[in-house]
Amino acid sequence: MIKLIFFAVFTRSFAWAVIMGLAYAGLGTAFIYFLRRLDQRDDRERPEVPTYRPAGTDKVKFRWEYFPLVILLILIVWGEPIVVLLS
């Protein structure tokens, strides 16, 4: 909603502001979706009885969700200058 207001004020075009506001809302929603997927653990990773170990013993496994998160973060942060350069 904030991006929509900024675009409406600076471009003075309500249609362009709505389009860009919806685009950023979609990017933000997709970013939250992939963050939630990273937060979930598979059932096979979850032990029957919880064990507590020091934090340093946990291994980080590569997850495919990292790729869309990086792309979405770049678009959220640098999307506005890219759109301005292309228009």
The chain-wide mean pLDDT, for the chain, equals 79
Please state whether 26 falls in left (phi above 0), alpha (psi between -120 and 50) or beta. alpha
Strand, helix or coil for residue 19: helix
pTM recorded for the entire structure: 0.68
Residue 76 confidence class, pLDDT cut points 50, 70, 90: confident
Q: What percent of the chain has pLDDT over 70?
A: 78
Q: Which residues are CB-neighbours of 38 under 8 A, at least 6 positions away?
A: 63, 65, 66, 69
In tens, the pLDDT along 23-55 reads 889 999 999 999 888 877 665 666 677 667 776
pLDDT, position 77: 87
**Distance of alpha carbon 49 from alpha carbon 1, whole angstroms:** 44
Burial tier of 56 (Cβ tally within 10 Å: 0-12, 13-18, 19+): exposed
